[in-house]
Amino acid sequence: MITILIILGILTVVVIGFVLVYNCHSRVIKRIEFAVEYRNKFIEFANKYFKNYDRWSRTGDFDGELYVWLTMNVSKIQNYVGSFGEMTYKPAFQNYVINNYQIIINTIPKFREGQVENFDVGLVDDCLLRYIGHLEEYSKNTNKNLRNPIVWFREGFKEVMSIPIFILSWFGIISNRTVNSIKNSLIYKVISGLIALVTLVSGIVTIIVGYDQTREFIKKILGL
């Protein structure tokens, strides 16, 4: 009976871990698709604008529909790209710089205001390419994790260990931000990883040699 419970426990943790790993990979793929879509629409919009651009009036062919879509989604893509979309920016013909300048969210309105330059368009395209490249590299790791049962168990065990933290958050004792900080901390990852490894090994040994033999072996080690 003990052996059956151990097997069910391990399988439950593995299933939980697989779901988490699968969801992580799916989120990465969706972000790649969204970033690629945003870049394609931005390039289409910019190309139309500069195709018949008049440098004297500083106006071009303005696609209102694409502009609305880009503007409605600009906060989302800017949050996604994070540091890839920030820089120290010096406006043309000005003697000051802007730190942590958000490239995409500040460039889109320039088309309507007639203040956009080719330089601005290049900055947006570059930061999107960097972000997409980062995600594609990261997706290779998440894809490998989909085929690694050890990772499933590790991630599932970490989630089970997080239950007390989630309970404290649910009662309002700690904030969601604190929960995320704890779960993402190196100490928590190392401790949960070691406990998961010991639990998995002891569970497998118990299944193979039996519960009674394992208990006696542990007693001998501990001197009980």
In tens, the pLDDT along 117-156 reads: 888 999 999 999 999 999 999 999 999 999 999 899 888 8
| The pLDDT value given to residue 221 | 53
* Helices (H), ranges, 52-185: 64-72, 74-81, 103-113, 118-145, 149-161, 163-170, 176-184
pLDDT, averaged across the chain: 85
Classify the C-alpha dihedral 5-7-13-18 as positive or negative. negative
Between 71 and 196, where is the model more confident? 71
For residue range 33-83, what is the model confidence (pLDDT) as tens digits? 999 999 999 999 999 999 887 777 777 888 999 999 999 999 999 999 999
> Is the per-residue pLDDT at 105 higher than 90?
yes
According to DSSP, residue 55 is labeled T
Q: How many CB atoms neighbour CB 17 within 10 A?
A: 25
64 vs 66: CA distance, rounded Å: 6
- Residue ranges per structural domain of the chain: 25-146
| The pLDDT value given to residue 48 | 93
Global pTM reads 0.78
- Band of residue 193 on the pLDDT scale cut at 50, 70, 90: confident
Contact between residue 42 and residue 70 where contact means Cβ atoms under 8 Å apart: yes
Quick one: average pLDDT of 171-180?
Answer: 79
| The pLDDT value given to residue 197 | 74
Q: Is 54 exposed, middle or buried (0-12, 13-18, 19+ CB in 10 A)?
A: exposed
| The pLDDT value given to residue 203 | 66
Between 15 and 188, where is the model more confident? 15
Q: Rg of the chain over CA atoms, in angstroms?
A: 26
145 vs 156: CA distance, rounded Å: 13
Q: How many CB atoms neighbour CB 194 within 10 A?
A: 10
Number of alpha helices (DSSP H) and beta strands (DSSP E) in the chain = 10, 2
